[in-house]
A and B are shown apart, each in its own frame.
Chain A
Amino acid sequence: MRRAIAAAAALLLALTAACGGNGEDAPPEDGPDVLRVLAGSEIKDLEPLLAKAAGAAGVKVSLSYTGTLDGAEQVANGGADGHYDAVWFSSNRYLSLIDGANARLSTQTKIMVSPVVLGLSRAKARELGWDTGRATWSDIAEAARRHRFTFGMTNPASSNSGFSALVGVAAALSDAGEALDQAQITAVTPRLTGFFSAQTLTAGSSGWLADAFRRRTDVDGLINYESVLLGLRTASGEPLTLVYPGDGVVTADYPLTLLASSPKKELYGKLAAWLRTPGVQREIMTTTARRPIVPEVRPDSRFGTAPLLELPFPNRRSAADALIDAYLNQVRRPSRTVFVLDTSGSMEGDRIDALKQALAALTGTDASASGQFSRFRNRETVTMLPFNTGAGPASTFTVPDRDPAAVLNRIRAYGDGLTARGGTAIYDGLRDAYETARGGPGGSGGTGGEDFTSVVLMTDGENTDGSSYEDFAGFYRALGTRIPTFVVLFGDSDVSEMRQVATLTGGAVFDARQASLASAFKEIRGYQ
């Protein structure tokens, strides 16, 4: 009996770890005064405040982070039950549209609000005549279509700010007064394509987007939460001018939501009540630039006085999914992606199988919505570049703008044919990847075409053959490129050197050592 309990406990821990998304989060510890919360990364900035909840409200908040769509699916299919007591995303709207999700949710308490708006450099806002802060999405779309400015936005399938922005822009441009349906989405697609032709920066999370924006001088603005934009500075240190579209916005309302499966109803109630006390509401406003939800606390002068019109949000999942699908496969500018894959001897066995599976998932075998939205997109050019003792031959595939199945099948067959042997020449592989991405068939040519070009480096060990990191760093700097490398830690990766690669190229590191390689690949897709 004892042993059975121990085994069950171990299983529980393993499952909890797997739920942590990229595996960087420790499994949430339980206790009578601990409220385990599955949250969107957007609320990370509340951590200092939440740390005070233990003393002030008697609630220890244990946060684990996940992506919006991933988190929504996890809650809807019951994967969060038993591991978490509450969920806290910037919005429950998409989650509520999934069949069966509402039965998993108990009390919802809105904590704060932030609309998704446009932030532009002051000079650009003045040039476009929007320095008074007023313009409509139609004005913005027209200027975007004529390439009068450029902007960054998160991927709508990975991050709620991108999804809210997409819904807002589509609702405003569709000229329909009611919630979007399939027919309206089809009709508005050409206008959306014009709008998003000015998008030159994407990301899987609001935090990374803001960091990338600070480094870039060629991106004029961002579409994101007001709270993010109010705190942001351009590369030259200037604050942004916020443009509040007069034809409406979509607002995040951050509902702290008790899971129906949790027995900690009272603990949840304490935290929710504390977060809505006037003092805490004021602190949220001051420290995170979000608007208070309780009417007793009025927004301060940073937020302006113009009333924000709220645009209707779709009430059917099919409409929400159709919109994301249209964005990824028709509307957005196509991306160019190079996968640098370790096929050295140490990959033999489970590891190469995990790689095959992770690649197959990106060709559409993952049937979940988040899986479908992370597949290789229509119009995307994908290069597979295996390496072992040296860099292998590159194979390039371009997914057509319709009927993608045949090409996706070819990519899957390519992945299935990978074999493991030989040494590990990481930087020879990486160097070839950059050469392929810059020139050659399907290459992006000069820097202007690099906006959506990226490299994924997946390796399970240290560099043993060919050029060194220093050689690569010299090569990279001489190249004058800004193509980022997204590094996947796997097996026995050299963590510090891999982090250097990510920092050098302006990429990011994803950890697949605890969680699966497939989930790391899926997360990276948000950045491509």
Chain B
Amino acid sequence: MKRWIGVGLALVLGAVVVLALVLGNGEDGSGGEQRTLTTVRGVIGSEKKPFFDDPAVRAAFARHGLRVEVDTAGSREIATTVDLRPYDFAFPSSVPAAEKIRQAHKIARTYSPFYSPMAVATFQPIVDVLAKAGVVHDSGAGYQVLDLRRFLDLVAKGTRWDALPGNASYRARKRVLLTTTDVRTSNSAAMYLAATSYVANGDDVVTSRAQVAEVARTVAPLFLDQGYSESSTEAPFEDYLALGIGKTPMVVIYEAQYAARLFAGGGAIRPDMRLIYPAPTVLSKHTLVPLTDRAAEVGRLLQEDPEFARLAARYGFRTADPKVFADLVATTKAPVPASLVDVVEPPAYDRLEELISTVEQRYLAGAKPSS
């Protein structure tokens, strides 16, 4: 009985998709072309929404007879709770989430058209203070890094900003912590968890349950002690840009968020703002999992067509051909390194999920009076 209802629902949804196709074909997209377009619907991480909304990107898809409609959701939700039936593709922001969907739907091939390293947006006075404390140093490859090992030591001691020696410029009594999004829902925080778990696990990728329990003890405070955190990656970065050092001295972001603003000009990145990288860092590899045949064409175009690579680079994403991003860096004189040296792999989906769940349990544990 249950199965029949399921099939019936799928049929209804199928009809809705067909209807959407028919209606979608009726109204043309941008570009004023008269040919009919095939609508392809996807659910994506929110940081890629501006890219898909860009008229130039829509026009490029239209030239290939496609109209791509997207809804946004957190990468972890896409892999777990989002009903994927109305969609032709899922496009989470990390390999672990994409891998989970690929296995669940038995998809042979996925596409990873662009990626972005995890980075830290901060300010020159913060860089100076943390350099004095030995936590920030030069990578030797043309950019500065936040040494995660030393940073974790600082956090473990409960260090406050005003307790850092020689700190005259940022006398805040609050704890030295990076601002992140809510690790329970957001991929950027999960990627930060991936990088810090590597360090907490003795410079090795977490691969076992025993390691999860041990590592969680070290990394959970990075999230819990911040207090309230927001669910979308754009929100804390926006605070960083608009409210500055007082609210958000250091925020975990995708490099692409910062690079896109540099490339666009417009003064959003002010002179005292700095982009540094955690050492080690991890790459957020945006991976498209096609659920229907026509979505495979979207994935192929994004990965192979140079026009899409150029468009993606404008949004700060790095693509398979490093030259596209490097050229943009060169022409805009953006202070962004051409390549990064200290990059590690995130844990496999199940281990990362266990790490997140362990942190989540600590949120819940705090729901009871701690006495």
Contacts and interface: CB of A to CB of B under 8 A. Distances in A.
A319 B246 contact: no
A292 B268 CA distance: 13
B151 to A, nearest CB: 16
Contact of B242 (A178, A292, A310, A322): A292
Interface in A272-327: 291-296, 307-319, 322
Contact of A113 (B224, B243, B266, B270): B243
A293 B266 CA distance: 15
A176 to B, nearest CB: 9
B226 interface: yes
Contacts of B54: none
B34 interface: no
Contacts, number: 111
A72 to B, nearest CB: 14
Interface stretch (B60-68, B92-100, B168-176, B192-200): B168-176
Interface stretch (A179-187, A364-372, A493-501): A179-187
Contacts of A505: none
Interface string A315-351: 1111100100000000000000000000000000000
Contacts of B177: 178
A315 B172 CA distance: 20
Interface in B269-315: 270
Contacts of B214: none
B225 interface: yes
Interface stretch (B17-25, B129-137, B228-236, B345-353): B228-236
B231 A96 contact: yes
Most buried by B among A93, A247, A309: A309
Nearest to B244: A307
B244 A312 contact: no
B243 A308 contact: yes
Interface residues of A, number: 41
A464 interface: no
Nearest to A311: B174
Contacts of B228: 93, 96-97, 179, 312-315
Contacts of A308: 243, 246-247
B176 to A, nearest CB: 8
Interface in A173-211: 175, 177-183, 186
A296 B266 contact: yes
B370 A181 contact: yes
A415 interface: no
Interface of B: 46, 72, 158, 160, 172-175, 177, 185, 221, 224-232, 235, 238-239, 241-248, 266-268, 270, 363, 366-371
Closest 3 CB pairs of A and B: A179-B227, A312-B227, A307-B246
11 contacts: A108-B231, A177-B160, A177-B175, A178-B175, A178-B221, A178-B224, A183-B370, A248-B172, A295-B241, A310-B246, A313-B228
